[in-house]
Each structure stands twice: as structure tokens, then as C-alpha cells.
Structure 1
Amino acid sequence: MTTTTVDDPLALAEADPERAVAFAATLARRARAARDPLAESTARRAMGIASVHLNHLGTASRHLNAAIRLAERAGSPELAAEARLRLAFVTSVGGRPRQALREIEELLPGLHGVLRARAEAQKAAVFNHLGRRADALAGYRAAIPVLRRAQDHLWLQRVLSNRGIVHGYRQEFAAAETDFREAEALCRELGLDLSLAIARGNLGWVMGARGDVPTALRYFDQAEARFRELRTHQLGWLLTDRAELLLSVGLVAEARAAAEEAVAELERLRRAILLPEVRLLLARAATMAGDHEDA
């Protein structure tokens, strides 16, 4: 696996969030001492993005709000909009997707070019949170050609991964695999270790859906190893996908162990919305193992 050498804090947030927080904090201090609010805004935005990956949503909101204030003070509506887009995503994953949608809609009329494409992509991600798959795909169709032309590969890999998930939910598995493989290649090229692990976890999910269990488990193993090293919040989702796949092929003991760990991880992260579904999965595994009391 490539170890990233990026010195861009925004890219490092997609590669190694813990390193990104420390690095961006140093940049923010230097920018404050130099009275450079634009550089400090970018550093605080990177800290916000990294904090999302570490499941520190409150911390992410504080950093992103600071990034907005600094950008506005420096007279840069573009940088302020960048931070607002990421703050809208935090709002959505925090359980308020409709509010996030309103915030992005308010920004869109003043945005153009690549920045508008990023906003359309962020809006599409919120549509996916709301289960509006067709609307999400329409947003990605609008955003991806613009990002390609601009060679905005940092955003493109993220958007391809997100679109692949929508295709997967719609059982368009060939399209999902195409998007995930391109995202994987871009992440390798950019040295984005965390995003690469996410792409590989997604490939495991779609390979499992297509019935290729050995390949799915190989991708899950690769992604899981990196998630554990980076201590990010994606591990609970990956373990859930692994447990569902193992249960579908009758590997009950292995599925139960994965589901138990997924429950523990999601409890640690206080992911109350997903926990009932994973507890039901664990109950199914216990039932299939003949442990009706635990089920």
C-alpha cells in the first residue's frame, strides 16, 4: 500500500486523518501568527474534514464554522462556500439531511464552475442519505464531467465512490464496480490511504452482492486492516457488510463474531440509527447458531 507523502492538509485528511489534524493544527498556528486568514481557513477546513473521518462531528462543526468566519473576514466567498459545503455534509450525517439540503440550495445560485460541481455532488450525497437515489444520480451526472475536465481528482474519487454506492443500492452492480475501480485507481495515484480503503471496502460490498464471496472477503480484509490502523469510524460499517455476507453463505459462527464486533463498534460511536439493524443481524446469526436465548 502506498503511504502518502502529500503536504496538502486537505488531501492528507483523506489519507490519514489523525496525521492531518496534527499537521493542519500546526499550519493554522503559523497562519494565525502570520495574520493569514485564508491559509488558516484552509487549515481549519482540513481539520474539520479529518474530524468527520474520526467521527468527531462536534469538533468538525467547530473547525468548519471557524473556517467560514476566517474566509469571510478575508473577503473570500469561495473559501467560505467550500467550508459551508463540508459543514452541510456534517449536518446531514449528524441526522439532519433536510436542513443540509436547504443550506446547499441557498449556496448554489452564487456558485459557478468547479465549485458549483462540488456543491451538486454534495447535494447528491445528501439525496442519497434521504433515499432519493434518482435525484442523487442526476446530481452526480451534473458534477462528474466538470470535475473530470478540471482534473479535480481529490473530489472526483470521492464522488465516484458515492455514485458507486447509489448504483449498488439500485442493484446496478456493473456500474457500481466501474465507479469503485476508478476511485480505487485515483486513490492509489494520489496516495490517499483512507479513501483507498473505503473504495476497497465498497468493492467488497459489490462483489459480495454479485456472488463473488472470495473476492469480496479479500477486499474486506484489505479495507479492515487499514481502517484499524487509521482508527476511523468506517470499521463498524465494514464489519456489518462482512457479517451479512458471511451469514448469506452459511458461515454462521464467523458472521456472529463480525456482527458482535460491529455492534460494539457502533455503540462506541453512538450510531443509534444503524444499531437496531445490526442488532437484528446479530439476532439472526444467534438464531441460526441455535442460541435462541441470546437471539
Structure 2
Amino acid sequence: MTAGSDTVLELLPMVFARPKDALARAENVLGSDPTPLHASVAHQVIGLWQRDFGDMRVALRHLRRARDLAADAGSAEREADVLGTLGVALVHAGRTRQGLEAFEQGVDRGTGHTRARVLYRRAYAWWVLGHHREALEDVRRAIPVLRQADDTIWTARALTLRATVHLALGRPERADADFTAAEELWDTTGQEHDKADVVESRALAAYRAGDIPAALRLFDEAAERYDRLGTPIFMFYIRRCEVLMAAGLAREAVAEADAALGVLDGIGGQSTRKAELLLTAAKAARLADDPHTAIARAAVAVRLFAGQRRSWWEVHARLVLLEARVATGRTSGR
């Protein structure tokens, strides 16, 4: 595949529009003796795909190579963009300190539009880490710049993220406004994976509003979209299990969380999502009157969250662990 820079750069949004096509085309670029700049983009595309849908170890290898090639090409903007992608991957791999350092470097190297994309990614990472106010601050800085650049895709992503953070903070009205604005933007694009993510987010919003039947229906719609794309999304399973528990289907939630853990372990996926799935399985097992399973899952979740420096999540996991131990007569907090 030979192409100019603009054509190669088009592979980046394609990761979340036609994921398998993007992966195949990036591999073709690497097989065509590309320039360092083009090779950097191709490695970033493969790293993105592996980060979200595959093996995290492979993702980190490709993203580090993409960063080094961008530096070789002398493109600070390209390097900053890759550092933003790498920062998210490192956080998901449980290497929080390294991830935050990558974001700092990306913000320093990038300017304008590129810096706004890095800020969005750091906001996403703050949300993953449970630092909601920091997430809102970064996304607040990013959105006006993305809008000014007329960047529909990244503006929609930023609005979707802000809505998700508002939900986490108990602000459903603000979340709904941002989800609506994001959907209007997504409807003008071919970003099929991103569109599925919005349906999933709408399902979560319906659940938080107390409409469990609507939430389950929207989750089913999102699942069909993800299945068509062939992209396993583990946050989806975490959220659907939450609704299954609310619907009184705790045993089904345990089974779904455990099945998702098996898939995640099988592909070498994100450590952050593994910890969250373990916590979800523990909560569901506790509701299903299976405290021994709850203790086993929660204890591992506590260790993972601690190692990832995710104190907000660790506290929640410790609470579930304590509740499960009380249920069996074991009250030690160790």
C-alpha cells in the first residue's frame, strides 16, 4: 500500500469505524517500506487495535515503536499524538505512573489540536482511575479546541466521555445533554464502533434513571453492533452485569463476568478491566449468596487496584471483600 500522509492518517479513525480493515491496511503499510512517519502511523493503528481488542503486550510494543519512529521523523505533533495513545495503554496495563508521564510528555510536545486530543485521552485515563474531577478539567480544556478545529469525531468522543463522567458523579441531566449532542455528531460519521459505544452509554443512563427494561434492550442493541464489528468490549460486560444485578439476576451476572474474564485472560487484555470484572463478579456473587466466590474475586481485585494506584476502586473492592467475609464470619480486614 502506497499513499500520502493524509491517506495513511485516515487509518487512525478507521480503527473505530472498520477495525479489521484498519488492522489489515496498517499491516500492509508496514510491508511496503514506509517512511518513518508512515510507519509510525501504522504501528499506532496496530497498537490501538491491540490495546482495545487484543493483547496489551503487543499493543505496548507497537506503540513504543510508533513513538520512536515519530521522533526519528522529527515530528513533535506525531510524537505527541502517539504518546497520548501510549498513555492510555500504559494505564490500562496497570502502569499508572508511566502512563501519566507519557501524557505529560504528550501535552508538552503537542500544540493546539494535537494537544487537545492528548488532553481528551488523559481525561479518559483519569476517568478509568476514578479521578472524576481531573477528568472533567481536562475534557473541559479539550472540547473548545476540538470544536474550533471542526473535528467531529474527537468532539463527539469528548462529549461522550464528559457525559459518562457526569453519570459517575450523579448528574444525569448533564449527562443526557452531552449524550444527545454526541449522538447528533456521530450520526454524521461512519464511526460504527463509536456509535455502538453511545448506545451502550445510553443503556447505562437508562439504568441510572431507573428504567431497567430500556437499559437491557439498549444493551442488546449495543451487543449486536459490537458482534458485527468483531470487537470484544469488556466495559460493556461490566455495565450489563450491573443492570443484571439490579434486575435480580445476580447468578447470571456472575456467569457473564466470569465468562468475560476468561476471554480477557485468553487474549492478554487490559489489566484495568480485569480488576473491574473481578469486582463485578464479587459483587454479583455476594448478591447471589455465594460469599466464598465473592471473597476470592474481591481479594484479587483489591490487589490489582492497589498495584494500579486506583484508590477509589480499591476502597470499593475492600468494602465488597469485607461484606463477603462478614457473611462467612470472617471479619479480618487483611
TM-score category, normalised to shorter length? 0.7 to 0.9
- Return the offset for 1:54: 0.8
Cα distance change on mapping 1:170 and 1:101 into 2, 3 Å:
same
What CA deviation, in whole Å up to 9, does each residue of 1:196-219 have, x standing for no partner?
111110110011101122322221
Structure 1: 5+ residue stretches without partners? 1-5
8 Å CA contact 1:207–1:215 kept in 2: the answer is yes
What does residue 325 of structure 2 align with?
none
What does residue 158 of structure 1 align with?
157
What does residue 264 of structure 2 align with?
269
Cα distance change on mapping 1:27 and 1:181 into 2, 3 Å:
farther
Q: How many residues align?
A: 280
* Equivalent runs, 1:1-12 vs 2, <5 Å: 8-12=10-14
Q: How many angstroms apart in 2 are the aligned matches of 1:55 and 1:167?
A: 29
Q: How many angstroms apart in 1 are the aligned matches of 2:284 and 2:12?
A: 37
The answer to whether residue 28 in structure 2 is matched with residue 26 in structure 1 is yes
- Return the offset for 1:294: 7.6
What CA deviation, in whole Å up to 9, does each residue of 1:46-104 have, x standing for no partner?
12112222132112112212222222222212111111110111001111223211221
* Match among 252, 255, 278 for residue 257 of structure 1: 252
Aligned AA for 2:236? L
Cα distance change on mapping 1:53 and 1:130 into 2, 3 Å:
closer
Q: How many angstroms apart in 2 are the aligned matches of 1:294 and 1:45?
A: 39
Aligned AA for 1:14? F
SS in 2 for 1:228: helix
- Return the offset for 1:292: 8.3
Per mean C-alpha deviation after superposition, the further-off stretch among 142-151 and 65-74 is 65-74
Cα distance change on mapping 1:278 and 1:79 into 2, 3 Å:
same
Structure 2: 5+ residue stretches without partners? 1-6, 266-270, 295-334
What does residue 13 of structure 1 align with?
15
What's the TM-score once normalised by structure 1's chain length?
0.86
Q: What CA RMSD, in Å, does the superposition of the two structures yield over aligned residues? A: 2.3
* Matched-pair identity in %: 33
8 Å CA contact 2:47–2:59 kept in 1: the answer is yes
What does residue 245 of structure 2 align with?
247
Q: How many angstroms apart in 2 are the aligned matches of 1:153 and 1:71?
A: 25
SS in 2 for 1:143: helix
Q: How many angstroms apart in 2 are the aligned matches of 1:107 and 1:237?
A: 26
Aligned AA for 2:68? R
Q: How many angstroms apart in 1 are the aligned matches of 2:147 and 2:43?
A: 27
What does residue 3 of structure 1 align with?
none
Aligned AA for 2:47? G
- Return the offset for 1:227: 2.0
8 Å CA contact 2:48–2:59 kept in 1: the answer is yes
What's the TM-score once normalised by structure 2's chain length?
0.77
Aligned AA for 1:70? L
What does residue 148 of structure 1 align with?
147
